[in-house]
Structure 1
Amino acid sequence: MRATGPSSTLKRDASDERLSSEAQSGKRQRLNAAADDATGDGDITLVEEPDTSDKPSVSEGTDAQQTRVSPAPRGPGGRPLQRHDKFFYEDGSVVVQVGRTLFRLHKTLLSSQSSFFRELFADAYRPAEDFEAFPGATLPFYVLSVEGLRVSDFEQLLEAADNSFRTFRDRSLGNNDYGAIARAAHALKFTDTHAWAADELHQIWPSDFASVAVAPEGYIKCAATALQIAKDANVPQICKGAFYELLRTKDFGQDDEDPLLSIATYNTLTRARQFCAAFWMTVLLKPPPQSTDCQAHEKNKGGESSCAARGIAYSYPMWTATVEKERLHDHWIDPVAGFDALRLLELENEDKNGICDACFSSWKDAWTKKAKEFWDELDEPLGLTPTPVAADTQ
């Protein structure tokens, strides 16, 4: 079976134009990586489709040479295919079809960066078809039907693959751009490119407490998109940052007329918000205890101390007044912002019925530990805690 290339004029002897019935009934093999088998492992299968490409008419019965114009390549149903404006290189050595778009690319480059293409090109059981680049010259031709692969994503992937990462980093790329690259790289096993795109996404949606912005950034749609990217492109490390951006936003940023989140995601966020509220209330319920240095100093002075942390009769009233004054209850859906407020908190010193320097430093350390505890425990209500592997009892 021959997929015709660029339209061209070709003179041939009519006697050489006779097509065998076998050639006329040829079939095109279609690469299919959808996970439709019983094992669900997504292995590529071969699906044969009737050939619908146009055949040039042949005029017989004359020795005069005839002129024939090769038709544009066509896909199933006889619909014409389009060559990509940029990624159809004149010196390309292989033609790949994604959707209804043809890409003429460099086989060596694809093989060096993608284990998917490396295995495809080496598989004797999935031979390439012929693509007529110009009269008398053919190139290997593959039709890809890979689950999750979009033409626009493949374009972005080729941009990254054709340019050094250093040069590509200089471009102004965002959440959707890196997501497209990561999706295509995951589908086609561009391992290094996927790792790079995943790292860029992780910088946008960090998962460590210290890197999370202390206030909502308003990227609600981007956060919802990031959760889908995490699933489609196998980039789970961006989930926590994206979840938290939604978690601390009123109504999770949802619009009743145009909801962004699935019911499952909404329920996950609801559970996580309940956890945030409960955890934050325990932080505000009582002040941290008196520091060991303050206790030692008090003992050395014969039990005399003016630090409010010396007993609950003094520390609780002071702490309750501070919570109300600083409006710390307002951070019940956003403990990250709440812990930042505690970090910046200024308290009266012991000369003004406040706490001593040793206790103030100790309280700050206690809140820092609480912040880490909160962030680590948030994984469970968000469903990010790894499932324990059952011990091998055999």
Structure 2
Amino acid sequence: MKKVVILGGGFAGVNLARDLGRNPQYSITLIDKNNYNFFPPLIYQVAAGFMSPSDISYPFRKLLNRQPRARFRKGTVTRVDTKAKRVFLEQGGSLEYDILIVALGAQPNYFGNREVEQNAYTMKTIGDALAIRNNILAQLEAACAQPPQARAPYLHFVVAGGGASGVELTGILAEMRRDIFDKDYPELEGEHGKLTLVTADPVLLPPMREVSQRYTAAALQKLGVDIIYNDPVTAYDGQTITLKSGTTIAAKSLIWTAGVTAVKLAGIADSSYGRGNRLRVDRQLRVIGLEDVYAIGDCAIVEGDPAYPNGHPQLGQVAKAQGKYLGKALGRSDKAFVYKHRGDMAMIGRLSAVADMPGGRSLQGMIAWFIWVVVHILALVTFKNRIAATYNWSIAFLTKNQAMRMNIQPSPPRGRRE
């Protein structure tokens, strides 16, 4: 029985582990720094308080407990030795493998801007989402304690990045501002502050069709969002945002969704990496130049696919498809991985979304919103998550309210309390 070690339990890794766990040829160890899988497309709803972290997450050990040959190991990988076929963990110890599969995903790309990295919020993990939620609530409370003339920086929330993550977060924050501020914060006396979306691109949602881009911009502007195009953030000290044009924005909150990059893994030569620090793989998802090493998901770039000469987009549907492909093909088939794009979509707000369907058709408004909701509910990893998401969305839809508006800070360990 061959030992398979999977690094990372996102879309790619967890789908691979569940499918490969049924294959009697392999024993599987899935390694992840968290003990749970989560659903990144809905993380912005946790950030806005519309969903609980448990609605979009599930423990790895429970996910794998029906795969008798699959095991979970919590840990952070520090390096690999591809000659000795060993993986080394930050927590100590190492694991031997016969086949290594790298599925480490991607991290925020700050484009070398250390100041933005240190002072902006990002939205890649559940921890990030909770930090955003806590900050929004903290800024609102702080604004309530200020005289009216001093409130503006506390009530100005800026989102950097015009992709789906930035658009969806901006939309839900705009609805939160419209529907909740007056009810929960009477001290603000009807003052709703400002919400600004900044992008380096000339349009929102660059991968989508023009009709969807125009609808999105109009819908956000109707919600009172200021949109700044072609002007990326170049600096942020926690108080003032500076754009490339020289424009400055006074705001105590910047949320960064302006790009991702893969993480280089120590022990793998630079020659194995391509654009965006993604591991170069062939059509069978084998890392080029390495033996018995595969890469899938956001950390991989497939070379040789004529339909995607620059590699596949870093999307959850690509990662899931690659995980399922390798779960069936490993040790059984040399058939090339073929990706069939199922379209793009983005939620803007209540009964408002855009969806670019295969075949050239684009949908906007309520029908796109309904498709978005159904697709995302069905994509959640467990039945429990689907029920929880459906319940919370139903409550939010019927009441224009959300229940998770609590600033919960973890207590320090007993020995570190002052």
TM-score exceeds 0.5: no
**TM value normalised by structure 1:** 0.25
Larger relative contact order (CA 8 Å, sep ≥ 6): 2
More strand by share: 2
**TM value normalised by structure 2:** 0.24
More helix by share: 1
